[in-house]
Structure 1
Amino acid sequence: MLAAVAASAPAAAADGGVCNTYCDARDPANALKDRVPVTATLHGRAMALHVDDGSAMAFGTLDNVVPGDKIWVDRSFDGGRTWDGGSRLGDTTAPGGVGGWRTQMYNVDDWNTGRIGALRACAQVTGDDDIACTGWARSDWNGADRRQAAATALMMDYDRKTGLFGGDGWWTSANALTALIDTIRRTGVKSYAYAVDETYDKNKDRTDGGRLGQFRNEYLDDTGWWGLAWVKAYDLTGDARYLDTARADADHMAGYWTDTCGGGVQWKTDTAYKNAVTNELYIALNAALHNRTEGDTRYLDRANSGWNWLRGSGMINGKHLVNDGLNDSCKNNGQPTWTYNQGVILGGLAELHRATGDDALLRGARELADASTGSGDLNPGGILREPGESHSCTGDGPSFKGAYVRGLGALNRELDGHPYDGYLTKQADTAYAKDRNALDQYGPHWNGDRGDGPGHGCQHSALDLLNAAP
């Protein structure tokens, strides 16, 4: 426990001051709901970040001070990666005759600009150049439950200049946006719904880097991810432009269905490779469009053709797991059974079942789901782990598990008795207990060891998991 703080630093003007309900440099004596989420020590002094959840502000304290010790707070608007100009908000020096010292209170977020923030307390002791800081933390604003808290942490990675997550993440941003939309629909909290319009408006006409406008892409799987994201956006908003874009995406993919290996959509516009995820996305997107297009037969025909081809293609191996694709001889190439290849098809078959009522689709989906949830290779110790899972949250791989649990969750909701409730609950509870920091940021390993996180791939995957769990 910290010793009682004897006095408070006088109010100090801060560069770039923020005013929400209250303005920066508010007296901590006015704190309404004081909580201490993170602490640290430096040369025998104990420091803490105090978060006032009642005002969404925070302040730092330093215990066992001697005259000349300094305490301040840093504020970051990107999850602790950077902080403004060295920050040092409320930088104050302890006088003589006190046992503890503290800063004024500073806002965690900037509601006027939509910036989502985090604070930490830092200190430097008299006569020493060393500086130590607590971890980053924030208020429980938009964090009433674990889904909302994880969504808020995900939005720390949203770049309002590009309208994408992680600065310029492309297909991974489609997945992150999908996870965000699912959270809005599950919780009813629409604080971050602005990201749907922003993402669309800032990227719909992009034609750089293989992009072809309307979220079409030379990579057909990228096109499929965005198509499904815009279906979700349509379900959330009812805005027809999102469904129109999803249709354009599906039509673009259909243009690259070829006779190579007897059918299927190729992976890239100039590459004949037939892989699993592209065709699973094709099935899911066309089935979803059928279910939202009155009188449709075209999208349903595509979805049925896609599933009939995929299940006979050889990509589903003898263990009922899906390998990456087909080799030049149109045989299973034996490449890893990435988790997203096991999951996207589950959501697609659930959507196709809603379109047709054919229970054989659910039986096929359950066979695949039982194989992946029961695989010791994919679930060492009972917790999902990507083949060759990296310690990093950057790149493509961290998004794979999110796509898996999203698809499994969709199938689970379609099935009587929800047979995968137990599996999804175990995954979610484990990740929440072992793979989460004070900012509700998640790392790559749900069973612990947060690796080199954070990043939007790891974060949306965890959010997908929390959304999929009952």
Structure 2
Amino acid sequence: MTPLSVPSDHPRRRVGSRRAVGSATALALACLLAVPLTPVTRADAAPRVAVAPDAVICDIYCDARDPGLAAGDRTPVSAVVHGRTLRLHISDPDVMGWGSIEGGRAGDEVWLDRSFDGGRTWASGSRLGATTIPAGSAGWRTQMYNVDDWNNLGIGALRVCGKAGDRPEIACTGWARNDRNAGSRSTAAATALMMLWDRNTGLFETNGWWTGANALTAVIDNARISGMGSYRYVIAQTYDKNVNARDGQFRNEYLDDTGWWGLAWIAAYDLTGDSRYLNTARADADHMRAYWTSKCGGGVQWNTGIAYKNAITNELYIQLNAALHNRIPGDTTYLQRAREGWDWFRASGMINSGNLVNDGLNDSCANNGQPTWTYNQGVILGALAELHRATGDATLLTTARSLANASTSSTYLNPGGVLREVNEGDDCDSDGASFKGAYVRGLGKLNAALGDRPYSAYLDRQADTAYANDRDSLNMYGPHWNGPRVLVSSGHGCQHGALDLLNAAQAS
């Protein structure tokens, strides 16, 4: 099958698209704000129509507490409008915040907005504590409000907005929050990712299916690596809300999607010991096995109705089956499948002469020359590490090291020494936004399996660069680990990718 015969509307074929993400939002901002503000990850939309504020939220204390009673005062973000300075004040011990306006005059306004989806919306939480500078003063402050609605699993953020009393323009700070569940780089990124989890659907913002499996895996890995278990609830809730979706048991027509979910439930089983997750992973592996065909001598096809043989589906197949063997006492079936999968993959021709993995095979069962997406370089590393654990075959780690050396040293994949996706765009909701996360997750698994930890320095460099160049005041990350920082309006792919990176670096 030629590349053109693969449906253009499939997620894997939208990777290189350049969408004008947030352009209308950016235009609205340009018209609205009095002065340019430092960009934040979640693009500020035009102001919502004011509605009744949220019900009073109580945590350690209840909303509308006097800032004079605050146990701390940290100011992570500020903004300026017509010479007035707006500041967000956070009292970390109280998990509350308040806003202030300085350098103004009577009638100037200041208020808080509160968001529970990373700053995407705040309609019901806008204009909290709205107040004006009284006569005879040059500044004023709001009351204190809670950042989180922990009783309802609301992971929140605050920002301060304000205006001069005689001018229409409004300015707002960036979004920020207290330091709860942010004791390290990785836990701060996990907390930001959980802001994008939809409590109604049990999926992550934009409700991406296979990318949701990766985001869930990143959160689970963080709980295991960091020891912070605050978000373990997401496992059962995601499972319960979606186990009967699609074809049930997290199966659907795209076999790679099924593989991602199977590995997510392996991670869930490892953390919780709940056998229903392991049983679902088995159902996923069995579903994939049903589409192992003789075309091109073997391999699992990409889609139940499309015979295309590609790399990612079969890499996931190898890893999932090897992982099942390693968790099911006395198993021989899944081990045989994993070995057969690797033997076929190794001989398929998808690994090119430079030890990089292309996308798949053409109608003649030869390497189709499609791009060497980063996730194709990483998942196979995790698969070989898992298969080595199952078999003890040292040649598997030798092969994996050769593949990892090729991808970590590739200037094509690492311009300037920092990983960059092929045709990397400025969005976070395309499939490609998730690819780098899968790469570093797989590289991290291999690194942990090698006694000399040869890729720790590489992972640390990536993590340090992303932390310095691709992070905002809310610990949200964008698509470019080496910068430039771009304004992004939606999508969780960039955030789970950054969390995968920080997890791998911390584990190394």
TM-score strictly above 0.5: yes
1:422 to 457, 478, 502: 457
Once the two structures are superposed, the pairs formed by residues 65-76 of structure 1 within 5 Å of their partners are: 65-76=104-115
In the aligned structure 2, how far is the partner of 1:107 from the partner of 1:448?
Answer: 32
Compute the displacement of 1:450 (Å). 2.7
SS of the residue corresponding to residue 48 of structure 1 reads strand
2:120 to 75, 81, 88: 81
2:130 maps to what in 1?
Answer: 91
CA contact (8 A) 1:52 1:139 kept: yes
In the aligned structure 2, how far is the partner of 1:423 from the partner of 1:343?
Answer: 14
Closer/same/farther in 2, CA of residues 332 and 15 from structure 1, 3 Å limit: closer
In the aligned structure 1, how far is the partner of 2:103 from the partner of 2:199?
Answer: 42
Give the unaligned 5+ runs of structure 2.
1-51
In the aligned structure 2, how far is the partner of 1:81 from the partner of 1:166?
Answer: 10
2:493 to 457, 463, 470: 457
SS of the residue corresponding to residue 418 of structure 1 reads coil
1:36 maps to what in 2?
Answer: 75
Asked if residue 378 in structure 1 is aligned to residue 417 in structure 2, the reply is no
Deviations 1:163-197 (A, max 9, x none): 00114210000000000000000121111111000
In the aligned structure 2, how far is the partner of 1:138 from the partner of 1:465?
Answer: 22
Structure with more relative contact order (C-alpha pairs < 8 Å, separation 6 or more): 2
Asked if residue 391 in structure 1 is aligned to residue 430 in structure 2, the reply is no
CA contact (8 A) 2:113 2:160 kept: yes
1:369 maps to what in 2?
Answer: 404
Compute the displacement of 1:33 (Å). 1.9
- Give the residue type in structure 1 aligned to 2:449: E
In the aligned structure 2, how far is the partner of 1:361 from the partner of 1:129?
Answer: 66
2:503 maps to what in 1?
Answer: 467
2:191 maps to what in 1?
Answer: 152
1:119 maps to what in 2?
Answer: 158
Compute the displacement of 1:54 (Å). 1.0
Asked if residue 135 in structure 1 is aligned to residue 171 in structure 2, the reply is no
1:290 maps to what in 2?
Answer: 325
CA contact (8 A) 1:393 1:452 kept: no
In the aligned structure 1, how far is the partner of 2:69 from the partner of 2:384?
Answer: 55
Compute the displacement of 1:97 (Å). 1.5
Compute the displacement of 1:84 (Å). 2.7
- Give the residue type in structure 2 aligned to 1:395: S
1:8 maps to what in 2?
Answer: none
CA contact (8 A) 1:391 1:450 kept: no
1:4 maps to what in 2?
Answer: none
Compute the displacement of 1:336 (Å). 0.3
- Give the residue type in structure 2 aligned to 1:372: S
2:446 maps to what in 1?
Answer: 411
1:243 maps to what in 2?
Answer: 278
Compute the displacement of 1:99 (Å). 2.5
CA contact (8 A) 1:31 1:55 kept: yes
In the aligned structure 2, how far is the partner of 1:426 from the partner of 1:243?
Answer: 35
1:181 maps to what in 2?
Answer: 220
Compute the displacement of 1:161 (Å). 0.6
In the aligned structure 2, how far is the partner of 1:149 from the partner of 1:467?
Answer: 11
CA contact (8 A) 2:317 2:341 kept: yes
In the aligned structure 2, how far is the partner of 1:406 from the partner of 1:378?
Answer: 16
Closer/same/farther in 2, CA of residues 163 and 51 from structure 1, 3 Å limit: same
In the aligned structure 2, how far is the partner of 1:67 from the partner of 1:468?
Answer: 52
CA contact (8 A) 1:14 1:90 kept: no
Once the two structures are superposed, the pairs formed by residues 287-366 of structure 1 within 5 Å of their partners are: 287-366=322-401
CA contact (8 A) 1:25 1:90 kept: yes
Give the unaligned 5+ runs of structure 1.
1-12
2:146 maps to what in 1?
Answer: 107
SS of the residue corresponding to residue 243 of structure 1 reads helix
SS of the residue corresponding to residue 253 of structure 1 reads helix
CA contact (8 A) 2:133 2:140 kept: yes
In the aligned structure 2, how far is the partner of 1:62 from the partner of 1:304?
Answer: 65
Closer/same/farther in 2, CA of residues 96 and 380 from structure 1, 3 Å limit: same
- Give the residue type in structure 2 aligned to 1:246: A
Asked if residue 442 in structure 1 is aligned to residue 477 in structure 2, the reply is yes
SS of the residue corresponding to residue 249 of structure 1 reads helix
CA contact (8 A) 2:254 2:304 kept: yes
Compute the displacement of 1:65 (Å). 1.6
2:264 to 218, 229, 244: 229
2:3 maps to what in 1?
Answer: none
Moved more, 17-26 or 376-385: 17-26
Compute the displacement of 1:49 (Å). 0.4
- Give the residue type in structure 2 aligned to 1:133: C
CA contact (8 A) 2:54 2:125 kept: no
In the aligned structure 1, how far is the partner of 2:190 from the partner of 2:54?
Answer: 29
CA-based RMSD: 1.0
Asked if residue 215 in structure 1 is aligned to residue 250 in structure 2, the reply is yes
**Alignment coverage as a number of residue pairs:** 454
In the aligned structure 2, how far is the partner of 1:232 from the partner of 1:253?
Answer: 18
SS of the residue corresponding to residue 501 of structure 2 reads helix
In the aligned structure 2, how far is the partner of 1:298 from the partner of 1:86?
Answer: 54
SS of the residue corresponding to residue 497 of structure 2 reads helix
Compute the displacement of 1:14 (Å). 5.3
In the aligned structure 1, how far is the partner of 2:334 from the partner of 2:67?
Answer: 60
1:10 maps to what in 2?
Answer: none
1:168 to 197, 202, 207: 207
SS of the residue corresponding to residue 502 of structure 2 reads helix
CA contact (8 A) 2:292 2:298 kept: yes
1:5 maps to what in 2?
Answer: none
SS of the residue corresponding to residue 152 of structure 2 reads coil
CA contact (8 A) 2:296 2:365 kept: yes
- Give the residue type in structure 2 aligned to 1:216: R
In the aligned structure 2, how far is the partner of 1:91 from the partner of 1:55?
Answer: 21
Deviations 1:217-264 (A, max 9, x none): 100000000000000000000000000000000000001000100000
2:307 maps to what in 1?
Answer: 272
In the aligned structure 1, how far is the partner of 2:199 from the partner of 2:81?
Answer: 37
Asked if residue 27 in structure 1 is aligned to residue 32 in structure 2, the reply is no
1:263 maps to what in 2?
Answer: 298
CA contact (8 A) 2:88 2:99 kept: yes
Compute the displacement of 1:452 (Å). 3.6
SS of the residue corresponding to residue 376 of structure 2 reads helix
Moved more, 457-466 or 26-35: 26-35
Moved more, 185-194 or 231-240: 185-194
1:7 maps to what in 2?
Answer: none
Compute the displacement of 1:455 (Å). 2.8
